Amino acid sequence: MIYICLPVHDEAQTVGVLLWKIRNVMAEFGRDYEVLVLDDGSTDDTGETLDRYGSSVPLTVLRPGTRLGYAASVERLLREVVRRAAYPKRDAAVVLQGDFTEDPADIVALIKTLEGGADIVAGQEVVDGGAPPRRVRWTRALARLVLGKALRGAPVSDPLCGFRAYRVIVLKKALREGAEPMATASERWAANLELLGALVPHARRLEEAPLSLRYGLQTRPSRFKALRTLRDLRRVGRSPLLWTGAPGSAS
């Protein structure tokens, strides 16, 4: 089973189209799948849009009632995957955004790489359709300076990208009952960095796959906060525990 996890907040303009594209991609791919959406306190018509797709997509919507933020939303989704998965050594979780900048067609490459023996498949961002906003480009450049050794020591070339596939057994080991939250950063890139650092020790093998980013399809203003992102990256990158666990060290 492939669990496709979508953390969303006020994505009424895109989440319906995204779900339909996922449906088409997975029908052609021929794998069993479920879509798990966490509606993180949306105030637009996101909820109503999701309800309309319940009969055409294998969809479960989680509504926590209070705003969680990106990191906690992703962790809540991954915990739900662990709870549902009947075959954690074979089942997989994929996390992608609800704003349609990440192409659901890339799920196929992630899963095929996972089926080839990887436990975590990390996306390598390749812009394909619309240049990133200027503040995104500058922040990514500055992130290399802010992270320094933390970036050079990362087990993948792009640890900031959150479009990834995980074998569920890796999540089950990391998300054992009573474990501390895997990520606490408020901004997405830093949270993705923390999440990878928490999961790497429980994986035997990591691989990467190129993924298309399509900023030209984004229908709402970007919520990217450059200064806050750099601040969070600086804090996370300074943690002496970030890459202390080599793949397989916690198995």
Taken in order of first residue, the domains within the chain and their CATH numbers are 2-237 (3.90.550.10)
Please tell me which residue, 214 or 14, carries the higher pLDDT value.
14
Mean pLDDT, residues 2-9 taken together: 97
Tens digit of each residue's pLDDT (9 = 90 or more) over 210-247: 887 766 555 566 778 999 999 999 999 998 878 876 67
From the list 139, 153, 121, 243, the residue with the least C-alpha distance to 189 is 139
Percent above pLDDT 70 for the chain: 92
CA atoms of 144 and 104, how far apart (whole Å): 28
From the list 242, 151, 152, the residue with the least C-alpha distance to 194 is 242
Q: Measured between alpha carbons, how far is residue 218 from residues 32, 134, 210, 212 in Å?
A: 29, 15, 20, 13
From the list 59, 85, 108, 131, the residue with the least C-alpha distance to 210 is 108
Tens digit of each residue's pLDDT (9 = 90 or more) over 196-212: 999 999 999 999 998 87
Strand-by-strand arrangement of the 206-213 sheet? 59-62, 33-39, 2-8, 92-95, 164-167, 120-127, 206-213
Mean pLDDT of the chain: 90
Mean pLDDT, residues 160-172 taken together: 96
Sign, CA dihedral 136-143-105-128, equals positive
Amino acid at 45: D
Tens digit of each residue's pLDDT (9 = 90 or more) over 60-85: 999 998 999 999 999 999 999 999 99
- The two tokens of residue 24 are 């088409």
